[in-house]
Amino acid sequence: MTDLTITRSSTTSRITLGLLVAAGLALAALPWINGVGGSGRAVALLVYVLLAVMWNALAGFAGLVSIGQTLFFGVAAYATIRLSDAGIDPFLATILATLIGALLGYVTSLFMVSLSGGEFAIGMWVLSALAHLCVNLDPLIQGETGTSLIALNAYDVETRAALTLWLALAFTAVFMAALILLLRSSTGAAITAIRDDEIAARSVGVDVLRTKRIVFVLAATGTAAAGALWLTSNTSFQPKAFFGVHWTAYMLFMVLVGGLGRIEGALIGAVLFFVIETLFGAYGAWYLVGLGAVAVLFALVLPNGLWGWIGPRLPGEAIPTGYFVHKKEGRTQHVDG
């Protein structure tokens, strides 16, 4: 009866998709172009992207500000060590550890997501600290001395670097796609509604708890994937290097500087963080001071982050999750008169 058309993409989004695919292919070709060193840095970039995109999904969309996502990051790395120690191929272990992260996310969601903002934030940190303590008790880990993913030595250095990179690309693509598809699904509009106004979302029938739990589990899984990848890329596992609070600071930095509540924001936040780290990471403490200064500067000048400035200046959504509705009015011309 009604001639409704719904458009869910635009030239902007097609160009963005093209750019993302091109960037992915370029990264995939890196082992042939740039060798082992380049691959390692590329994995770092992808890990940052995963962390930023997932933390943004959690805080920006579901309104769940967690300062303890290191729970999933660290446990997945630890699980990779354990699985590999049990004789499982380290790359397979990375994938299995991600699934363990998903399971941990599911179990955690049962009692964490219904907590209020402050309790949730601190509660996640407590869980992460607890997991850190438990991991330190494992004799295999030898406390903070740590251990290594020695099973990787079965692969020669080039193969190992290339496989890690491709796995990182696959993970990033899968989790980005999962998040975008989720936000475009019928649940997605509910998630975005919660982002904008949780009370109003309840008023129009959105099951806020259930919706938040879906996002929480996805974010947990993506963060776990990042942790397992970080281990596979760096081989050594020292608990502090995975459960450390610096990761939380990085996630906050990337998302706030990039733009809370937009996938594009988290993406460019991660890229910016990567660039800053590459250029200034060697300066140690001063580098951290500089990061803090950049964050403060952004909070003052661009409170909605980089994407809050760029996004509205584009002709369409770069990563489209919305609906453009149009009604064909073909008849009106000759009916009236």
Q: What are phi and psi of 4, to 5 degrees?
A: -95, 135
Q: Take residue 33 and report the two structure tokens written for it.
A: 């172009």
| Residue among 38 and 308 whose Cβ is closer to other proteins | 308
CB 313 to other proteins: min, Å: 14
**Count of residues engaged in binding other proteins, rule: CB under 8 A:** 28
CB of 70 to other proteins, least distance (A): 29
Instruction: Indicate the residue among 68 and 259 with the shorter CB distance to other proteins.
Output: 259
Q: How far is the CB of 6 from other proteins (least distance, A)?
A: 6
Buried b (16+ CB within 10 A) or exposed e, 262-297: bbbbbbbbbbbbbebbeeeeeeeeeeeeebeebbee
For residue 176, give Cα distances in angstroms to 141, 148, 242, 301: 32, 29, 22, 29
Name the residue nearer to other proteins (CB basis): 117 or 143.
Answer: 117
The site string for other proteins over 3-32 (x = CB under 8 A, - otherwise) reads -x-x--------------------------
DSSP calls for 305-328? HHHHHHGGGSSS-SS--S-EEEE-
Please, how many CA atoms are within 13 Å of residue 104, restricted to the half-sphere of its CB?
26
Q: Which is nearer to other proteins, 160 or 195 (CB)?
A: 195
d(CA 241, CA 19): 33
Looking up tokens 């996002």 gives 215
Min. distance of Cβ 11 from other proteins in angstroms?
16
Give yes or no for a contact between 90 and 229, defined as CB atoms under 8 angstroms apart. no
Cβ distance to other proteins smaller for residue 8 or 246: 8
Q: Per-residue contact track with other proteins, 173 to 212, x per CB under 8 A?
A: -------------x--xx-xx-xxx-xxxxxxxxxx----
41 vs 202, which CB is nearer to other proteins?
202
Q: What is the helix (H) or strand (E) element at residue 84, kind and residue range?
A: helix 70-85
H or E segment to which residue 4 belongs: strand 4-7
Supply the minimum distance, in Å, between the C-beta of residue 208 and other proteins. 7
Residues 305-324 that bind other proteins (CB under 8 A): 322-324
First to last CA, the chain: 23
Under rule CB under 8 A, which residues in 59-118 are in contact with other proteins? Answer: none
Toward other proteins, which CB reaches closer, 5 or 145? 5
- Residues 220 and 214 sit within 8 Å (Cβ to Cβ): no
Question: What is the per-residue burial (b if ≥16 Cβ within 10 Å, else e) of 220-239?
Answer: bbbbbbbbbbbbbbbbebbb
**Nearer to other proteins among residue 10 and residue 34 (C-beta):** 10
CA dihedral 242, 47, 123, 182 (to 10 degrees): -160
Task: Annotate each residue in 253-282 with x if it binds other proteins (CB under 8 A) or - if it does not, as one string.
Answer: --------x---------------------
Instruction: Give the residues lining the site for other proteins (CB under 8 A).
Output: 2, 4, 6, 186, 189-190, 192-193, 195-197, 199-208, 261, 322-327
